[in-house]
Amino acid sequence: MRLIAHLSDLHFGRTDPQVVQALLTDITRNRPDLIIVSGDLTQRARSHQFTEARQFLDQLPAPSLVVPGNHDLEPLYRPLQRIFRPRAKFAAHLPDHDERPVWQDEAIVAVGLDSTRHLRWKSGKLRSSHLEHVDQVLASTPATACRVAFLHHPPSTAKAGHPFDSLAERGIDLVLAGHVHHAHVALIAAGHHRSCVLVQASTACSTRLREDANGYALIRITMPALTVEVRGWSGAAFHTVHRHGFHKVAGLWHHD
Ligand SMILES: [Fe+2]
Ligand SMILES: [Fe+2]
The CATH number that applies at residue 191 is 3.60.21.10
**What mean pLDDT value characterizes the chain?**
92
- pLDDT band at residue 155, thresholds of 50, 70 and 90? confident
Distance (angstroms) between ligand 2 centre and the Cα of 152 equals 7
In a domain, 244, yes or no: yes
**Which pLDDT score, from 0 to 100, does residue 162 have?**
54
**What is the number of the ligand closest to the CA of 70?**
2
In a domain, 255, yes or no: no
In the chain, the number of structural domains is 1
**Which pLDDT score, from 0 to 100, does residue 193 have?**
85
Are the beta carbons of 37 and 7 closer than 8 angstroms? yes
At residue 160, does pLDDT exceed 60? no
Which residue type sits at 167?
A: L
In a domain, 254, yes or no: no
Which residue type sits at 151?
A: L
In a domain, 205, yes or no: yes
In a domain, 15, yes or no: yes
Distance (angstroms) between ligand 1 centre and the Cα of 181 equals 6
**What is the number of the ligand closest to the CA of 9?**
1
Distance (angstroms) between ligand 1 centre and the Cα of 92 equals 21
Task: Collect all residues with Cβ–Cβ distance below 8 Å to 79 and sequence separation of at least 6.
Answer: none
In a domain, 127, yes or no: yes
In a domain, 147, yes or no: yes
In a domain, 216, yes or no: yes
> Minimal CA–CA distance to 72: which of 95, 55, 47?
47
**What is the number of the ligand closest to the CA of 68?**
2
Could you tell me the residue range of the domain that residue 106 belongs to?
Answer: 2-249
At residue 158, does pLDDT exceed 70? no
Give the three-class secondary structure for 54.
helix
Distance (angstroms) between ligand 2 centre and the Cα of 114 equals 12
